Structure 1
Amino acid sequence: MTIKELGRELREMYLNAPKGDAVAMIHLFGIMYADEISNFENAKNEIIQVSGISQSYITELSKGIKLAKYVIPK
């Protein structure tokens, strides 16, 4: 996936999250796409920027990426 595709996917997951689960969807995105994100230098900033969500969510994306080593999405 490209940075633009990843950004669009993050935006969709965030906007379509069940009420109260938007941040959890950012974590889930990080878990699901950790390998793709690691293929790009400075990807987290660019993905957040392309997605249009607040830049402050980069911390939540980082948490999801770190969790990818330990969890498997249902």
Structure 2
Amino acid sequence: MTTDELARRLRDDYARAGKGDKVVAIHLFGIRNADALEGHSAHEIAERAGIGRSFGTEIRKGMRLAEYVQVK
């Protein structure tokens, strides 16, 4: 998956998230897409998604959680 495709997915997830759930949506994006995100810059994906480069840290948190959690 390309960086632009990942950014598009993140943008969509972020837009669908309710007020107060935006950061949770970013974590879930990292969990759901952990394998596809390997080798990509999380900060660049966040920037291209239009949510701010600093949210790359939150994507990485989700990626690290993917090993331990399962989405319902």
**Superposition TM-score, scaled by structure 1 size:** 0.89
- How many residues were matched structurally? 72
Shift of 1:47: 0.9
Deviations 1:4-32 (A, max 9, x none): 01000001111110221000000000000
Cα deviation for residue 48 of structure 1 reads 1.1
Percentage of identical aligned residues: 49
Aligned residue for 1:47? Answer: 45
Moved over 6 A (4+): none
- Which structure 2 segments of 5+ residues have no match? none
TM-score normalised by the chain length of structure 2: 0.91
Aligned CA-pair RMSD: 1.1
Structure 1: gaps (5+ residues): none
